[in-house]
Structure 1
Amino acid sequence: MYMQVGLSYAVAVHLTHIPGTTRYLFMERPSGKHPDKKTFIAGYYDIATNKYTNVFNTDSLFCNGAVQMANGNIAVIGGHIAKSGYADGLKSLRIYDKDANTLVTVANMKFPRWYPSANLLPDGRILMMGGTQAPGSGTKNNPICEIWDPENNPLKPPVQWTLPGAFVSKAGDIYYSNNYMLPSGDMFVYCDSAGLILNPYNGTVITDVPPHTNLIKTIRLEYPFSACSVMLPLTPANGYTPEFVFFGGQFGYGWTNTLAVDLALRVKVSYDAPSRKYSFSNWTMEKMNNRRVMGDAVLLPNGCVILLNGAQQGVAGDSATGGTSKASLPQFWAVLYDPAAPDGTRFTRLARSQIARMYHSTAALTPDGTIVVAGCDRCDYFNSSVPFSKSPWGLPEYRVEIFYPPFYFWDMRPALLPNGVPPIVTYGQRFSVLYDTLHTLVDIDGVVLMAPSSTTHSTNFNQRAVGLRILGDDYTGTLTVEAPPNLNIAPPGYYMLFLLSGQAYSSAQWIQVKSA
């Protein structure tokens, strides 16, 4: 079920969950039709109050990369050219302070970056990868990556290393690559049809990732052919073995009138620690029950995935004539993907939104297990085959929705007691989780940590699910569980802790995971 809950004053081109809160940082390009008649391009929306608050900043942060830091603040890197009174932000290194509610540019990168990826490393630093050195494809890419330490030494120049030439030649502009920290401490990098596993601290390549084009040659995954991806949950039961799924995208020959891809691509990565060697399953291909480009994939605590937003036709980007959409036929339907279901039965159509969410739309998990849905700034002058609720502002869309997955309405959901989770745990620590036995009698068979999302352009830089080992249950309201074994499985930071009973899940409480 979709429910419209409020209005923002900036389009959620970038949507970053502020750790420890019910607030979401919105960032956008400068535009002149904000509902409050002001010109702020950043702010936060609080889903607890459904109120929006502007946040002052000085430079152009549209098309940035943003990720949560280990201390709960947010690193915002790169952006856009000077525009509408905002300074050039292409080289900017910014910190959003979650307590002070300030967004401050503190330093500069060596290279300008438009559409870069930003990822939290297990040592607390931020890896900044790719993007072009000016807005637009073909404006010189960035083969040199940079590592910044915003928490401990924000003024120190970032460390640099270079991506291999063979990868760069295939990845092209390296727009918003899909980067995931692996339990081994290496990083899985996949951009369009080029993939690597590498050491994220110095760039040493461990191995290539077999491309999905070995299975199907015509599907493209990166902007403007934007697919969305998830890493499925890392759990003790699966040996913390990573598996990746890419949903939708566009065909390499596709353009504005081409129907989007209706396939999902899936691959598992196995690691032998003694030999330090990786092996890969064959890519598998699954038929989706609808077409989707520019979608968003939101991982739920139970391991299912909700697909939202996007279009059935076209590509991401602005038209050369007036900045209108390059896509049509909005994909209004949310879809559930159950990775554990038998092949051929994994996709289930759910509810339909009345609001078009195409280019520059976003979605993120909330602490109560619902999904906040926002954004779209090219949501006019397109074709639709069904009736919908047109944006009152023309191209930009400021309405905010909450999507309720079906599990939210199940009667027999587990529930945490107030203050049922310690505020801080260290790796490998045993700790107690207190659950309600008075109102909900269910067998609890899982405890999972969900990292807060940071999403833009169909890419989520921080989405992660980590299952915890349950050591004991006294069946009177106390679980004994074990924190993640190390910082490669769960990088340091804030997580939402959910209880599971089958596919039913509780609302969450925040917990910070850190080294001793």
Structure 2
Amino acid sequence: MGSWTATLVVFVLLQCLISFEPVAAQGSWALLNKNAGISSMHTMVTHYGTAIMLDRTNIGPSAIKLPGGRCRKQPAERISKTDCYAHSVMFNPSNTVRPLYIYTDTWCSSGQFFASGMMVQTGGDFEGNRKIRTLMPCPPSGNCDWTELGENLATGRWYASNQLLPTGLRQIIVGGRNTPSYEFYPKRKVGEKFFNLGVLGGYDNLYPFVYLLPNGDLFIFANRDSVQLNWNNGRVVRAYPQIPGNPRNYPSAGSAALLPLVWQNNFGQAEIMVCGGAATGASRTGNANAPASASCGRIVATAGAPKWAMQNMPIRRTMGDMINLPTGDVLIINGALNGYQGWGKANNPALNPVNYNVARKTFQVYAKTNIPRMYHSTANLLPDGRILVAGSNTHQFYTYRGAYPTELRVEAFSPPYLAGGNGAVKPAIKAYPKALKYKQNFVITFGIGRRVGGVEVNMLSAPFVTHSFAQGQRLMKLKTAAPVKAGANWSVGVTAVPGNTIAPPAWYMFFVVQNGVPSKAVWIKQNN
């Protein structure tokens, strides 16, 4: 056999292995709600365990009306100037839906939770382009709702990304369509405007990936380029090497995750992983059939001479979501195998989630869903360890016929760590502090059927998820002592993170993880 023939055989075999789905794929899916009323374009999990779901307003009727005969009268609205339908809901994973009232268009907007737990939501399209909205979450039995503020952004923001800053009281809003700049909310001084940033120019640069680094600077990635920005003085500290391969941001729609920050290096190393996206040129030529990218890159943004380390996913993907799991792994879910973001611009849905083991740098294909989650879909970690999956609307309006109809169903994916066979070693948190200060030593008490393997305590933020990017997502692995017996339970000593550049003040989900099996999370407020 000639060398070229042998190479071809190996290539074909590798392709077969990449597309191979195990007979007994792990994980399971459950339908939570057949009709949530809206197709969620933006999803946020509150510290009450509920989910704020949000779509755009200029779509005409949704599938759920505002309560009590209430209607939105918006003279600037382009579709329904009098609109009696809700475009946002509060979803309880126990399967209740409550309509929320939103006044201006939130299409392709952005957001972040403040330290208090209040969601601050910014920008959008048309009359919502410069708007700022807030929602202070309440218990599931409450009636909290959106409030539209009188103040505006310095400039319109459509397809921007937000990041909470170290005080927990201010966020930076980065980029947007034809807006290669950033600004702050609230402003740092009266009359402050916006600041231009060159990396945000060009094409395939929307919804930039933005992460707070351990030294307080920001890592900002757009298209294939990235920089370290000192937002205090507006100086670009350095430019990183360009990631190999295809473009990664909207409309090419790769995704990204900040890998776990760990106590072993005093939380000083920040590594970012960027995966998938559309083929080079696909979004500019309108090629909805171009195969999506399978490539992933990891870069240590805090290294002295950082470089991209590349590897391939087992399933190519555009419009995927990358979600930090309580174990420290990353789940890659949703999206399509071909095309790019936009109405009808992609096909061949990616139905199998893929798990990425950060330490081993290995992928595992999980059980598939039967519901395509394409353009305008979301994925969020729930406190019980499941992944809440919602949305998908590949059409300009709510369209229930044809290929990939508007999706109103809400699902939950349970990773293998929630399998029933792990019940004997699944921790159940019994006692914990309700709030923490930085560097604080504290104790978490947990019940367990059988003690086996190591114990970790991991804290995870609650991000604003939209358009393949979980804004504000981060995971910290905390320093823990060896568990000790405490009556019928076990106790573990834990040390809080050292400062607000590691975990800005906010509500976080805390998981006890034993032998790779997480507890149900408790919400603890990290204070300054």
CA RMSD of aligned residues (A): 2.2
- For the pair 1:304 / 2:329, whether they are aligned, the reply is yes
SS of equivalent to 2:428: coil
Aligned to 2:55: 28
8 A contact 1:148–1:157 mirrored in 2: no
Q: In the alignment, what sits opposite 1:374?
A: 390
2:441 maps to what in 1? 430
- How many Å apart are 1:270 and its aligned residue? 2.8
Note the 1:106-505 alignment, pairs <5 A.
Answer: 106=149, 107-123=151-167, 124-132=169-177, 141-149=178-186, 159-165=192-198, 167-169=199-201, 171-172=202-203, 174-212=205-243, 216=244, 218-240=245-267, 241-254=269-282, 255-271=287-303, 278-280=304-306, 282-318=307-343, 325-341=344-360, 346-378=362-394, 395-409=405-419, 410-418=422-430, 420-437=431-448, 439-471=449-481, 473-476=483-486, 477-505=490-518
Which residue in the other structure is 2:124 paired with?
A: 79
Equivalent residue letter for 2:147: V
Measured in 2, the distance between the counterparts of 1:293 and 1:58 equals: 32
Give the partner amino acid of 2:341.
Answer: A
1:195 to partner: Cα distance: 0.7
- Secondary structure (helix, strand or coil) at the match of 2:262 reads coil
Deviations 1:127-159 (A, max 9, x none): 011102xxxxxxxx2233111139xx9xx8674
Deviation of residue 317 (structure 1)? 0.8
3-state SS, counterpart of residue 459 of structure 2 = strand
* Offset at residue 265 of structure 1 (A): 1.3
Query: Which residue in the other structure is 2:147 paired with?
Result: 104
Distance 1:104 1:287, change over 3 A: same
Amino acid at match of 2:289: N
Report the alpha carbon displacement of residue 174 of structure 1 after superposing the two structures with TM.
Answer: 4.0
1:275 corresponds to which residue? none
1:147-190: CA deviations, max 9, x gaps? 1139xx9xx8674452343x244x54741110000111111111
Once the 2 structures are TM-superposed, how far is the Cα of residue 248 of structure 1 from its aligned partner? Answer: 0.8
Structure 1: 5+ residue runs without aligned partners?
A: 82-87, 133-140, 272-277, 319-324, 382-389
| TM-score, length of structure 2 as denominator length | 0.83
Deviation, structure 1 residue 472: 5.1
Larger C-alpha radius of gyration, 1 or 2? 2
User: Deviation of residue 194 (structure 1)?
Assistant: 1.7
Instruction: Tell me, in whole angstroms, the C-alpha distance in 2 between the residues paired with 1:380 and 1:113.
Output: 20
Residues 394 and 470 from structure 1, CA distance in 2 versus in 1: closer, same or farther, beyond 3 angstroms?
A: closer
CA contact (8 A) 1:448 1:466 kept: yes
TM-score normalised by the chain length of structure 1 = 0.85
- Say if 1:182 and 1:488, in contact at 8 Å, map to a contact too: yes
Cα deviation code 1:449-483 (max 9, x no counterpart): 01112100001112110111114532332211111
Equivalence for 2:104: 59
Letter in 1 for 2:440: Q
In structure 2, give the amino acid aligned to 1:332: L
SS of 2:429's partner is: coil
Aligned CA distance change for structure 1 residues 391 and 413 (closer, same or farther; 3 Å):
farther
State the one-letter code of the partner of 1:291: R
Give the AA of the match of 2:444.
Answer: V
4+ residue runs of structure 1 moved beyond 6 angstroms? 390-394
Aligned equivalents of 2:216 and 2:435: distance in 1? 23
- The percent identity for this pair of structures is 28
Cα 1:379–1:142 shift into 2, 3 Å: closer
Query: By how many angstroms is 1:327 displaced?
Result: 0.5
**Does residue 41 in structure 1 map to residue 74 in structure 2?**
no
Question: Which deviates more, 288-297 or 196-205?
Answer: 196-205
Equivalent residue letter for 1:372: L
Number of positions where the alignment pairs a residue of Structure 1 with one of Structure 2: 463
Alpha-carbon separation, structure 2, partners of 1:508 and 1:233 = 17
Match of 2:44? 16
**Inter-CA distance 42–96: structure 2 relative to 1 (3 Å threshold):** same
Query: Amino acid of the residue matched to residue 260 of structure 1?
Result: A
- Aligned in 2, Cα 1:377/1:105: closer, same or farther, shift over 3 Å? same
**Distance in 1 of aligned mates of 2:281 and 2:204:** 18
Distance of aligned partners of 1:158 and 1:261 in 2 relative to their CA distance in 1, 3 Å threshold: farther
Distance apart, 1:285 and its partner CA: 1.5
